[in-house]
Amino acid sequence: MITSEDVLKVLATVQEPELHRDLVSLKMVNDIEVKTDKVKLKLTLTTPACPLRSKIEHDVKQAILSLEGIKSVELVTDAQVPSDGRARELLRLPIRNAIAVASGKGGVGKSTVAVNLAVTLAMKGARVGLLDADIYGPNIPTMMGVDHLPAPKEDRLTPAEAYGVKMMSIGFMVRPGQPLIWRGPMLHTAIRQFLADVEWGELDYLVIDLPPGTGDAQLSLMQSITLSGGVIVTMPQQVSLDDASRGLAMFNQMKVPVLGVIENMSYLEMPDGTHMDIFGQGGGETLAKSFKVPFLGSIPIDPDVRIGGDIGKPIVYSHPESKAAKALVEVTEKLAAQISIAAFAGAKDGS
Ligand code: ADP
């Protein structure tokens, strides 16, 4: 007669392919029930955006079916995002992971990527916040179709909410069209307020859209927030890559773990299915290799990405079947996996 212990024993031989640890020590196996020839259990992933969900489910089923007398396996899959366990907790913020999206220069699609990452994570069931810290061009409210904040409650700011994402922007703090001149200490205070005085609630992921570039403003922002890690968005052409490598150097200097490089506007798909490399080819991947950081993927040029930004309907929500949306979802899944890896590396017990 097979018991729950037998199931645990066999699952202790199954590895989580990204974290390179077994499922049992990662506490991913729960609620085991064995009824004669049938096993039921709950598989708790480290992110609802797990890129290898089907491989893990397959490996679990195979392992259990190898037990003598077991004929069927019923899996229920949920997710519990681990916290990176960093000092953010000092602000008493129940934010498990904070990820900065940066770029070496403006116009490469950093805000577009940040928005679509956040919306994808929320669509997959994660609790997500999006903080627009781009003081030079706070475009996220437009891209998310939101033009004002809800009324504050008991002296605390209430974030706006769209597509299941809680959102706060430096753009809400200034009148439209007004030039934004921020000095280091002001920025520091503003960002601390965004973290401490906003009712974020519990979040699995806070995505932070940094200003483009690698100057004082970026350094000051990164000093105000304890980050789990950062991603760099670049375009494929050399000038963009040179700027992006400065961005990577900035993360290294600030000891912020680099979660990966994303190449945007990589190619345009022609009606016959061939690709036109408008801005060159493969630069993002080469850059990632030379810095020994993960390459998270390439996103094609698609007018619907731009239209989605202009009308406040992110492409992953409005055209989920498009190549660009699929590429963005794939990039998000790879990033979510890197965040789990970083969280397990950073936190002692990963929970
Ligand atoms: P950044 O934040 O780097 O300054 P934005 O996200 O504001 O860049 O993007 C700049 C412009 O390029 C926007 O109009 C945006 O809609 C457009 N854009 C970004 N990525 C794509 C893409 N993959 N295809 C088409 N247009 C894009």
Mean pLDDT of 258-280: 90
Q: What is the pLDDT of residue 78?
A: 95
Q: Is 107 in the pocket of ligand 1 (CB under 6 A)?
A: yes
The answer on 116 and 65 residing in a single domain is no
The answer on 112 and 45 residing in a single domain is no
C-alpha to C-alpha distance for 195 and 107, rounded to whole angstroms: 26
Q: Is 84 in the pocket of ligand 1 (CB under 6 A)?
A: no
Residue 89 lies in a domain: no
Give the model's confidence band at 135: pLDDT under 50 very low, under 70 low, under 90 confident, else very high: confident
For residue 221, what are the contacts with CB-CB under 8 A and spacing of at least 6? Answer: 100, 133, 187, 191, 208, 210, 211
Q: What is the pLDDT of residue 350?
A: 40
pLDDT at 179 over 70: no
Amino acid letter for position 23: L
pLDDT at 87 over 60: no
Instruction: Provide the percentage of residues in the chain whose pLDDT is more than 90.
Output: 66
Q: Tens of pLDDT along 32-64?
A: 999 999 999 999 999 999 999 999 999 999 999
The answer on 114 and 50 residing in a single domain is no
Instruction: Provide the percentage of residues in the chain whose pLDDT is more than 70.
Output: 93
Q: What is the pLDDT of residue 92?
A: 66
Residue bearing the CA closest to ligand 1, atom 6: 109
Q: Which of 31, 51, 79 is the last residue of a domain?
A: 79
Give the model's confidence band at 6: pLDDT under 50 very low, under 70 low, under 90 confident, else very high: very high
Q: What is the pLDDT of residue 240?
A: 82
Q: What is the pLDDT of residue 88?
A: 55
For residue 213, what are the contacts with CB-CB under 8 A and spacing of at least 6? Answer: 103, 104, 105, 106, 243
Q: Is 108 in the pocket of ligand 1 (CB under 6 A)?
A: yes
Q: What is the pLDDT of residue 187?
A: 74
Residue 17: count other Cβ atoms within 10 Å of its Cβ. Answer: 12
Residue 148's φ and ψ, nearest 5 degrees, are -155, 165
* pTM (global) more than 0.75: yes
Residue 45 lies in a domain: yes
Residue bearing the CA closest to ligand 1, atom 4: 107
Q: Tens of pLDDT along 143-176?
A: 999 988 898 888 889 999 999 999 999 888 776 6
Residue 84 lies in a domain: no
Q: What is the pLDDT of residue 349?
A: 40
C-alpha to C-alpha distance for 67 and 70, rounded to whole angstroms: 6
Q: Which atom of ligand 1 lies at the shortest distance from residue 310's CA?
A: 16
Residue 252 lies in a domain: yes
Q: What is the pLDDT of residue 219?
A: 83
Structure tokens at 174: 């200034």
pLDDT at 183 over 70: no
Q: What is the pLDDT of residue 178?
A: 64
Residue 292 lies in a domain: yes
Q: What is the pLDDT of residue 144?
A: 97
C-alpha to C-alpha distance for 133 and 192, rounded to whole angstroms: 11
Mean pLDDT of 113-134: 96
Amino acid letter for position 323: K
Helix (H, G, I), strand (E, B) or coil at 114: helix
Q: Is 302 in the pocket of ligand 1 (CB under 6 A)?
A: yes
Q: What is the CATH number of the domain that holds 22?
A: 3.30.300.130
Q: What is the pLDDT of residue 27?
A: 92
The answer on 28 and 113 residing in a single domain is no
- Helix axis angle for 110-123 and 303-311, nearest 10°, is 80
The answer on 68 and 119 residing in a single domain is no
Q: What is the pLDDT of residue 70?
A: 94
Q: What is the pLDDT of residue 297?
A: 97
Residue 90 lies in a domain: no
pLDDT at 198 over 70: yes
The answer on 322 and 269 residing in a single domain is yes
The answer on 331 and 241 residing in a single domain is yes
Helix intervals (H) in 124-161: 140-143
How high does pLDDT run on average in the chain? 90
pLDDT at 275 over 80: yes
Q: Which atom of ligand 1 lies at the shortest distance from residue 134's CA?
A: 2
Ligand 1 centroid, distance to 274 Cα (angstroms): 22
Residue bearing the CA closest to ligand 1, atom 23: 301
Structure tokens at 281: 């080819």
pLDDT at 340 over 60: yes
Between the CA of residue 311 and those of 120, 161, 238, 278, 315, what are the distances in Å? 18, 16, 31, 25, 10
Mean pLDDT of 171-194: 73
Structure tokens at 303: 């007018």
Q: What is the pLDDT of residue 270?
A: 87
Structural domains in the chain (count): 2
Residue bearing the CA closest to ligand 1, atom 5: 109
Q: What is the CATH number of the domain that holds 205?
A: 3.40.50.300
The parent domain of residue 10 ranges over: 4-79
Ligand 1 centroid, distance to 244 Cα (angstroms): 16
The answer on 261 and 121 residing in a single domain is yes
Q: Tens of pLDDT along 317-332?
A: 999 999 999 999 999 9
The answer on 301 and 232 residing in a single domain is yes
Q: Which atom of ligand 1 lies at the shortest distance from residue 112's CA?
A: 6
Residue with tokens 């007018």, as numbered in its chain = 303
Q: Is 297 in the pocket of ligand 1 (CB under 6 A)?
A: no
The answer on 65 and 184 residing in a single domain is no
Residue 88 lies in a domain: no
Helix intervals (H) in the chain: 4-11, 53-65, 110-123, 140-143, 184-196, 216-224, 238-253, 283-290, 303-311, 315-318, 323-346
The answer on 136 and 10 residing in a single domain is no
